Amino acid sequence: MAPALEIMTDGPLGGAAFNNEFGRPNLLGYFRSFELPEGADLVRAYDKPIMLAGGLGAIDRIQVEKIPLQAGDAVIVLGGPAMLIGLGGGAQRQGGQAQAGGEESVAFHG
């Protein structure tokens, strides 16, 4: 079992690796771990410590709302196979459908 301090310091790094690396400073949250020795040869514990973490950020007021697009504006979609949440990929991949070329079918919705 990882010590509590290790969960607090290393846990947020693993959480940030699943999404973007910009949210690393986790300033808020809590963690829970449990290990109870019962006798010489029995230990009861959570198999995996639970950690919930959050952070604080700052944004300029001018960047809070989107500027309306005009006809002819270029739209850049950032992301890839690991960042399809909100781009239509998660729901589209659940069925495991493949195109004729053998690649998974992923639909991007506007």
Q: Which two tokens stand for residue 97?
A: 């459908």
SS3 41: coil
pLDDT, one tens digit per residue, over 51-110 is 666 666 778 888 888 889 999 999 887 766 655 555 454 444 444 444 444 444 445 444
* Residue 26, number of CB atoms within 10 A of its CB: 19
CB–CB of 32/49 below 8 Å? yes
Q: What is the pTM of this model?
A: 0.30
Q: Which two tokens stand for residue 3?
A: 């010590």
What are the residue ranges spanned by the domains of the chain? Answer: 1-58+76-96
CB–CB of 41/64 below 8 Å? no
pLDDT at position 30 is 65
